[in-house]
Amino acid sequence: MKDDEDDPIVEEFPIYLSSQLDSSMHIFQYPVRPNTRPYTRSNGEGVLNIRIKPETGIVNIDVPINTKKFYDTEKGEKWGSVDRQTLSGVLNKSEGYMIGIFKDGELHLTPVKSTCQLRPSFVYVDKDIQTEREIARSIKHDSSKPKEVRAVQMSAKSSDDTAPRYSGALAARKRAEEEQFVELQWYDKDTEEAWEIADQLQCSNRGKLTAITTLEQYIDMLCNSS
């Protein structure tokens, strides 16, 4: 094992914590997409638009489909000349992620609010399948024998009983379905607007932080959290 003296400090630099964008800093991850093919204009696959449901955290982005590779023209015409694909995901609270930039020999860190894993969502296929199922149910219903007529007694309910009650996953799904998407503006990473926003990652307050935790307390916190 190497002695600590054989591992000298090569360089030191100040670290600053920026809070200008900490309430709106999100990391988008693409688990089924190689990092050699980013969704950028320079790669010919820039993001077309982005939508979000702020309350439930659902995110949808549309990206173009390369119709010259691995594309079924017949199915594309069936689904209405599909030329884009929707990627969907949900914002989840970040567990200690930070975005860092180096500038003028300084490291500026911004806490990440949430992460989102975006995967392909074949909404046009799902819609087509749903339509076929509705048609099948309609045909089955029409072909069944007519039911006998029965008298039905109606009774009024109080206003508190008129709305169905949901709990747990059903309630969350209902809220997600009812919430409307909000359109956002997407800036490609090479645009001037993106670089202007990146400048806000630099901390404007150079005040020195005073640690109120001793080294022993910090080690105890690490041990207790494991």
The tens digit of pLDDT for each residue in 191-201 reads 999 999 989 99
Q: Which two tokens stand for residue 93?
A: 């609270």
CA-CA distances (angstroms) from residue 118 to 7, 29, 58, 62?
A: 41, 6, 10, 11
- Percentage of residues in the chain having pLDDT higher than 70: 71
Tokens 């709305």 sit at which residue? 163
pTM value is 0.68
What pLDDT does 131 receive? 47
The tens digit of pLDDT for each residue in 41-60 reads 998 889 999 999 999 999 99
What pLDDT does 194 receive? 92
What pLDDT does 141 receive? 55
Residues with Cβ within 8 Å of 26's Cβ and at least 6 positions away in sequence, in order, are: 91, 112, 113, 114, 115, 116
In this structure, what are the phi and psi dihedrals at residue 68, rounded to the nearest 5 degrees? Answer: -95, -10
The tens digit of pLDDT for each residue in 81-129 reads 577 889 999 999 988 899 999 988 999 999 999 999 999 987 655 555 5
* Residue ranges per structural domain of the chain: 12-141+171-225
Q: Which two tokens stand for residue 129?
A: 């399948």
Residue type, 124: Y
